[in-house]
A and B are shown apart, each in its own frame.
Chain A
């Protein structure tokens, strides 16, 4: 008898414990929690300057966002350094998803990492992935899918902006040169295709390609000068960009033959060269801290300058947008749910730090912002060379159409 009572007691205790435990477990999701963002990007080597700029833009945006909060919680983030390597980036992305249980993945400067993570982690594990620096058009083009988004400009867009801008110029004979890897060739193909479509009488007189990181571009440029083209489409980026600008000046090519380089007017490129950067180089970019001179842009630049000691570059702009998309996306979704978040992002318009809004195009998950086409020039106002004679190309005019995206994905 006593034993039965004891076992009954034990039974009741077990039931009670179970009830308490299940209550704890059940009640957890109802409570507000923080949104976890996992950032994979390159924080070492030459690409680190872009990775850090993006991270600063993201942090600045979060300061504002977290004052108000999102769905009762905050946005928190952890970063991982890919060291510009695809295998490392892939492992880190997996780790963030499997072990840190991040709600959103964000990154990275390396197109190879972005494409690999997009395919093997984001698509497979159904985790939203917002690409914020790398410019490969395949990310939201041929290799795009439900879970991948981009707040970066891409090669199709950069090339098209170059093509549209150059078509307005009188040049006929073009030379194409650049870094011999995916970014260089993608920009070249896109620029040439669009230029040829807008101005069918242009002619390609030659091409030269150098290995990525090539320290000495002088022999390439002297051989281009001796071929005497009307203009050059130069497809380079990152550290090679400064080399290209220096060689453009030292060989005298900048004064003799106009060249267009996507991102040549980027402040990160022009600043280290100071007042010695070549004038007359054509370039395109989606963000300039001194243009347009809107009160919004001024406020953004001042806040950024105060927090990090230098003005924001285009990665900071992209990252600022990314933070807005994450905050407004979850607000619109109404709960922390990956599928609802993806649905919410499609067509979502967020605040542009230079004023106005930026829409996330529903058909390909590409953020649509204008591109500035300008030429490098010394102005007495600054002790570095800036972009001047800027024309603004509308975002929708320089992006591939939804129809073109659809076709590229069917291939």
Chain B
């Protein structure tokens, strides 16, 4: 019998992993929903977010550097994505999905090489500030403080995104464009800039995810491709383009992994993927309504 403390810590740790996945996947899902672009380069932007966070903490020492990195790194990524959108993506929205897949895959390779040229091939690492050292005891479970922090950030991002898409004019236009882009154009809205904004916002979330994950992992080339497969699985099981779907998918993925590790550690790897298979057999279009 596994004791309650172990169950609790697996639950919270799984939940905190799900929060990082959610931040990245909500961005991917948003771009998928509004622009219909399956953006494989999303993982590369997440990687750039982590590397930018590293550079910022090198420039500004101490805890201030970390907080600054958390705020500025996503904007660096947003800037990169804005350039990519205006120079490349905006000409390609009408192409078929296979073309877009190939194009974004190529872009991910280019961005990967760019990261190597700028930051080199060595592993980088940043440290969370002093306040996050040690762990928090919660209901008999001990959770690393940083993971606890992630539990707070995740819901904040979710609420922020919900507020943006439902309560602001820009968000409403973006949602409308997702349903019928011609109609939005017909009422005199500059669809091109709506798309650019939506794309940059999605990529901003990738950058935020990268900055958030940076203190917990080694920042390295290849972290993009590790993530992007999981991210696509998550948006698929959640429902393509559905923001709450990204949340549900992330929770399924993160929690099935954490509990798999506890109950059947030798085969923990298969648990999240088994969860994906079960969800897709049961609901082929994902848990929540897909916008596609």
> Do A and B interact with each other, yes or no?
yes
Counting CB contacts under 8 A, is B17 at the interface? yes
Q: Which residue of A lies closest to B262 (CB)?
A: A223
Counting CB contacts under 8 A, is A65 at the interface? no
The distance from the CB of B3 to the nearest CB of chain A, in whole angstroms, is 7
Counting CB contacts under 8 A, is B250 at the interface? no
A43 to B217 alpha-carbon distance, docked (Å): 22
Q: Which residue of A lies closest to B259 (CB)?
A: A219
- From the candidates B3, B134, B217, B267, name the one contacting A252 in the complex (CB within 8 A): B134
Do A223 and B261 contact each other (CB < 8 Å), given the known contacts A45-B222, A239-B123, A276-B127? Answer: yes
Are the CB atoms of B261 and A220 closer together than 8 Å? yes
In the complex, which residues 214-241 of chain B have their Cβ closer than 8 Å to any Cβ of chain A?
215-218, 220-223, 226-227
Are the CB atoms of B218 and A272 closer together than 8 Å? yes
Q: Sort chain A's interface into a size bin.
A: 35 or more
Q: Using an 8 Å CB-CB cutoff, how does the interface string of A169-180 with B read, 1 for contact, 0 for none? A: 000000001001
Q: Which residue of A lies closest to B213 (CB)?
A: A215
Are the CB atoms of A219 and B257 closer together than 8 Å? yes
Are the CB atoms of B122 and A215 closer together than 8 Å? no
Counting CB contacts under 8 A, is A242 at the interface? yes
The distance from the CB of A248 to the nearest CB of chain B, in whole angstroms, is 11
Are the CB atoms of A246 and B257 closer together than 8 Å? no
A213 to B6 alpha-carbon distance, docked (Å): 25
Give chain B residues whose Cβ lies under 8 Å from the Cβ of A214.
226
Are the CB atoms of A218 and B13 closer together than 8 Å? yes
The distance from the CB of B271 to the nearest CB of chain A, in whole angstroms, is 11
Give chain A residues whose Cβ lies under 8 Å from the Cβ of B266.
207-209
Are the CB atoms of A222 and B269 closer together than 8 Å? no
Q: Using an 8 Å CB-CB cutoff, how does the interface string of B15-27 with A read, 1 for contact, 0 for none? A: 0110010000000
Do A273 and B269 contact each other (CB < 8 Å), given the known contacts A44-B116, A222-B13, A226-B5? Answer: no
The distance from the CB of B206 to the nearest CB of chain A, in whole angstroms, is 15
Give chain A residues whose Cβ lies under 8 Å from the Cβ of B132.
250
Q: Sort chain B's interface into a size bin.
A: 35 or more
Binds B, one of A46-54, A71-79, A150-158, A194-202: A46-54
Are the CB atoms of A220 and B123 closer together than 8 Å? no
The distance from the CB of A83 to the nearest CB of chain B, in whole angstroms, is 11
Counting CB contacts under 8 A, is B207 at the interface? no
Binds A, one of B84-92, B139-147, B164-172, B179-187: B139-147
A243 to B20 alpha-carbon distance, docked (Å): 16
In the complex, which residues 18-63 of chain A have their Cβ closer than 8 Å to any Cβ of chain B?
43-46, 48-49, 52
Counting CB contacts under 8 A, is B10 at the interface? yes
Give chain A residues whose Cβ lies under 8 Å from the Cβ of B216.
215-216, 218, 243, 246-247, 250
Are the CB atoms of B262 and A272 closer together than 8 Å? no
12 contacts between A and B (CB under 8 A): A43-B121, A46-B123, A46-B221, A207-B265, A209-B269, A218-B144, A218-B147, A222-B9, A239-B123, A242-B125, A246-B216, A251-B142
B residues touching A (Cβ–Cβ < 8 Å)?
A: 2-3, 5-6, 9-10, 13-14, 16-17, 20, 113, 116, 121-125, 127, 132, 134-135, 142-147, 213, 215-218, 220-223, 226-227, 257-258, 261-262, 265-269
**3 nearest A-B pairs in the assembled complex, by CB-CB distance:** A242-B218, A208-B265, A226-B6
Instruction: For the A-B complex with A207-B265, A226-B2, A252-B135 known, give 9 more contacts whose Cβ atoms are closer than 8 Å.
Output: A46-B221, A48-B116, A210-B261, A218-B17, A219-B257, A226-B6, A227-B6, A239-B123, A243-B216
